[in-house]
Structure 1
Amino acid sequence: MVGPFAFYRTAEPYVKKKTAYKIGTAGRPPRACCARLHKAWGRTCGTTGGFCMPLGKVRPPKVSDVVAEELERLVLEGVWQPGERLPPERELAERYGVSRASLREALQKLEARGVVEHRQGAGTYVRDLVSSNLTDPLGSLLLRHPEALPDLLEFRRALEGIACHQAARRATEADKELLRRKFAEIERAHELGDAQAEADADAEFHMAIAASAHNMFLLHVMYSVFSLLRQGIASSRERLYSSEGVRQELYEQHRAILEAILTGDPDRAWAAEQAHLKFVADRLAHLEREKERESRSRMRLEGMGSRGS
């Protein structure tokens, strides 16, 4: 059936007898709400037993609900990352064509959901969607017990292996362009010999890979893993990039990962990532052993000095 009332399904035709209507097998007249439609179209409603289903009122969603849903989607998809400041209210209101009051109400709803937080005088920031009740104790654990680091790196290998594999399968042209730009930042820092900048660009490159996998849960767990790594191995990370020959090796490994993803080879991307993270884990373990040896040597030296005095 076509026409403005196409949602009225065709059922058994009714027979008009004077003022009575026989509908279906119920033999009951249609309700007044659509009797005129029946008469005009010569059709029944198609409801069981010939009864009409009265249409409820369609209530349009509130503007603030629509804006809140869109902003939340951007956070979930990694357009805005944990700790990142959202654009000013005026800019967001203009972007979505809504009033600042509606925009403010949308932000309040997101704050109530734990997606963002408002900082007095500083703006609105994206919160880490993985509970700090999990990440804070684990960060403290790493600081007190460095021997737990291999477990975190093993977990990272599992996550990033999946991320690279899926990124090679799912990355869009925009994702690939972002990966090229992140790798270019690694190249610039590498050429300048800036170990700290290269380490930071390294982390950004891996997060761009996670975003290219197009899995929201994977992306936000990866954010938390990198947060833990920054807490637990800050000094070792700097030493890793300062070690002779290591920076060049890491640079080549990142290039291999990038090329595998750009060419759409999931297995090669996974293998390149696994080789890279095994190298990182081995080097960090070596640096930790060196640090322990240095600490023991210093303690012996200081002990001898105190006895000699």
Structure 2
Amino acid sequence: MPFQKIQAEKLSTSVAHQIEMLILRGILRPGERLPSERELADRLGVSRPSLREAFAELSEKGLLTAKAGAGVFVADVLGSAFSPALIQIFGSHEEAVFDYIAFRRDMEGLAAERAAQYASDTDLKVIATIFEKMEAAHPKRNPTDEARLDAEFHLSIIEASHNVIMLHMMRSMFDLLREGVFYNRSVMFKQRTNRAQLLDQHRAINDALQARDAQAARAAVTKHLDYVEKALSDQKTAERNEEIARLRYDHEKERN
């Protein structure tokens, strides 16, 4: 008969599995510091030697890293998504910007559709809370804060889609965006018209999600990223025109 004896799982293996799941679900994030050894052992109800054994297993897998005198951290597991050479190419070629927006439009549209269908009530509360922060930040006119909340809003939707592959892939992409590899996000918030329309677009996305209207959520994301694409295209055209105008101006001064 094809039966085998049941073997109890080692405590350290159970601990390692729980931490892996928290990383997989995006709850523990790259660079995040874990609680102290004593605190975490108490929370998990295991001995400190069992916890150390789990840490060693996860460190060997490249999921955790220990820093002398600082503690144990989630490894930067997203850092290897793109090579440094490829990141440099992304930053120096204009077409990468628009390919990136097209990719986001497809992926985030799907994520919004899934979130409307599969998000828990708590997921939707998280999205609504971040949008409320966006509304509160709007009168303060701080491009850095608005850009940060914009990224958090979009990532909260991806988290609510409950697809771990999409979550980690898009987190990696947003890290590059946050670093200005694709474009400087804060530029989008400097113009009054852009700021008002961007807030309205995020409101439409949030409203559709709260209503659990999958088609409307996807359409709202598509409309938003179409606007971002056009705004960036207009910005780049304006920059090129200004460069030509400066050349004309410098030349005109030399003629005098």
TM-score normalised over the length of structure 2: 0.90
Q: How does 1:272-283 map to 2 (within 5 A)?
A: 272-283=220-231
Aligned to 1:68: 16
Partner of 2:186: 238
Conserved? CA contact 1:93–1:100, under 8 Å:
yes
Q: Superposed, which structure 2 residues align to 1:101-180 within 5 Å?
A: 101-130=49-78, 132=80, 134=82, 136-180=84-128
1:274 alignment partner AA: T
1:100 and 2:48 correspond: yes
Residues in 2 aligned to 1:233 and 1:293: alpha-carbon distance in whole angstroms: 23
**Is the CA contact (8 Å cut-off) linking 1:199 and 1:238 kept in structure 2?**
yes
Identify the residue that residue 30 of structure 2 maps to in structure 1.
82
- Greater helix proportion: 2
- What is the match of residue 225 of structure 1? 173
Cα deviation 1:238-260 (Å, max 9, x = unaligned): 22100121111111111111111
**1:181 and 1:300, CA in 2 relative to 1: closer, same or farther beyond 3 A?**
same
Alpha-carbon distance in structure 2 between the residues aligned to 1:132 and 1:281: 27
1:107-142 deviations in whole A, cap 9, x for unaligned? Answer: 222222222322333333333444615253332112
Matched, 1:289 2:237: yes
- Kept in 1: contact 2:97–2:182 (CA 8 A): no
Aligned to 2:196: 248
Residues 201 and 220, structure 2, Cα contact 8 Å, conserved in 1:
yes
Structure of higher CA gyration radius:
1
Partner SS, residue 117 of structure 1: strand
Instruction: Report if the CA contact (8 A) 1:236-1:288 is conserved.
Output: no
TM-score (normalised: structure 1): 0.75
Please give the secondary structure, in 2, of the residue aligned with 1:270. helix
Secondary structure in structure 2 of the residue aligned to 1:124: strand
Structure 1 gaps of 5+ residues are 1-46, 48-52
Aligned length: 256
Which secondary structure does the structure 2 equivalent of 1:73 belong to? helix
CA deviation string 1:57-108 (max 9, x = no partner): 5432111110010011011111122232223322221110112222222122
Match of 1:10 in 2: none
1:142-161 CA-partner distances (Å, limit 9, x unpaired): 22213321001111111101
Find the aligned partners of 2:17 and 2:251 in 1 and give their Cα distance. Answer: 63
The DSSP-based 3-state class of the residue aligned with 2:82 is: helix
- 1:193 pairs with one of 133, 137, 141: 141
Q: CA RMSD in A?
A: 2.4
Shift of 1:187: 1.3
Q: CA deviation at 1:282?
A: 1.1
Q: Secondary structure at the match of 2:9?
A: coil
Counterpart contact for 1:143–1:231, Cα < 8 Å = no
In the TM superposition, what is the alpha-carbon distance from 1:173 to its structure 2 partner?
A: 1.1
More deviation in 178-187 or 213-222?
178-187
TM-aligned CA deviation for residue 224 of structure 1: 1.0
Q: Which amino acid aligns with 2:39?
A: E
Q: How far apart are 1:215 and its partner, in Å? A: 0.4
